[in-house]
Amino acid sequence: MYPKALPEGGDEPPVRSRLQSTPPEPASAHLVRRTVEACLVATDAAGAAAEGIATGSNSLLNTIRQRERELDTFDMEIDSGVTSVITQVTEAEARELLACMKFMIGLERIGDLLLSFANSAQSVSSRLDPQDTRELTQMATLLEKMLADVGTAFAERDAKRAIEVLRTDAEMDRLRNLIFLRHIENPEGVSHHASLQVIFMTQSLERAGDHAKNLAEEVCHVVSGRSVRHLLMAYDKPIEQMFLDWLRKRDEKH
């Protein structure tokens, strides 16, 4: 088989003409991709919170403000895009687009909570007790992983990875309880530094984790077509166990 003849002059066709032959990305696929990109921004913000509190770096904590603005921009873009195309797509694509809107609502709130965390962290600076620093770093690191996993789960329609996010939220709650016990109940009567700010930071991370958990539930809904919460009302089982049971039954049918 002979190679195609080149145009006169022996040069390849201009790059622009070759690129124009690429079919445009469908609007629904574009919005899904942009939602996954927003997950990456939120993941980076959580990573900056973890490293910023661990090292006491105000410059890292300052980057969270810019990422929060980026998430606001994503939110407006997705909201506008979904509104304009949702009546022109299939039922399955419409479900994806509604998931994109729910994702952006959650991610935008996570951005707000991480900014609140950063503001409190900067106000206490180096006055945190080492144990508080360690456990807040753990919480922020867990949140970073939850957001990374939920973004991948949505991009790859990976329900099992979404289930891992639901399980990780329990560890977030455990760390919150440890910090609250130390600063609010304080059974040993020990004097702690910056207790009010520590409680605010803990609440911000714990609530951000709840939003990440909600996003994982939304991935399960996109994959299965059923609401995990509706399943929870029907069966007295832990939420992740119910969905794993559903996955097993589905796999047995195929």
pLDDT in tens, 166-189: 889 999 999 999 999 888 876 666
Q: pTM of this prediction?
A: 0.80
Instruction: Return d(Cα 219, Cα 166) in angstroms, integer.
Output: 11
Instruction: Return d(Cα 67, Cα 163) in angstroms, integer.
Output: 26
User: Which bin fits 157, alpha (ψ -120 to 50), beta or left (φ > 0)?
Assistant: left
CATH class of 26-253: mainly alpha
pLDDT in tens, 63-102: 999 999 999 999 999 999 999 999 899 988 998 999 999 9
232: confidence class by pLDDT, cuts 50, 70, 90: very low
How is the chain split into domains, by residue range? 26-253
Answer for the pair 180, 202: CB distance below 8 angstroms, yes or no: yes
